[in-house]
Amino acid sequence: MAAAGGYALDAGAREGWFADVAELEAELRRFGPAGEVLELAAGTGIWTRRLAEHADRVTAVDASPEVLARNREKVGPGAVDHVVADVFEWEPPRAFDVCFFSFWLSHVPEARLAGFWDLVGRALGPGGRVFLIDNARTGDPRHTVGRSGEVMRRRLSDGREFEIVKRFWAPAELEAEAAAFGWRLRAGETANGNFLFASGDRG
């Protein structure tokens, strides 16, 4: 067994997982996150370093200084500004060409969606674009056990459990939800069904 995404995977699932990660990387390259790129809820830098390969400069925002320290170590020296801030309270200091977020939108409660999409709109300049990655909706019991409304209980492979906000969509559902807030997204799922991705702009 091998671990991916915090869970133990058998060989077949592991192969599918990393094939889907490669597909996400290809989609991001096709999208071309060039210019000034904003990464919200940047985390430990898994995607920050990929963004930095394309962007003139990346601004990586996260609420945890410890997490951003790991991000800085992973990304190394280069054109990345690390900003410690609560995404819901942070104000963009300038206009960006691209806003990117991974495994974040699914943790935004429905009551805060309008405010979040408004923040993304304020962050982008004319012609600005969005790219997002998240978990796909699956029948995996790790995604459904103890779930009630927006809150689910996530059980890790080491037995620990956490209650978190976690929302899932089919691609068409995500497109429709974003459209309600004025965004025109094209969404899809990776071939092995592990991930959802979407890109677009303000409609």
CATH number of the domain that residue 68 is part of: 3.40.50.150
Q: Are 114 and 181 in contact (CB under 8 A)?
A: yes
Residue ranges making up the domain that contains 69: 2-202
Q: What is the pLDDT of residues 71-105, one digit of tens each?
A: 999 998 888 999 999 999 999 999 999 999 999 99
How many separate domains does the chain show?
1
More confident residue, 39 or 4: 39
Q: What is the pLDDT of residues 109-151, one digit of tens each?
A: 999 999 999 999 999 999 999 999 999 976 554 444 344 456 6
pTM score of the predicted model: 0.86
What stretches of the chain adopt beta strand conformation (E)?
Answer: 2-4, 7-9, 36-40, 57-62, 80-84, 96-102, 124-135, 151-155, 161-165, 183-189, 195-202
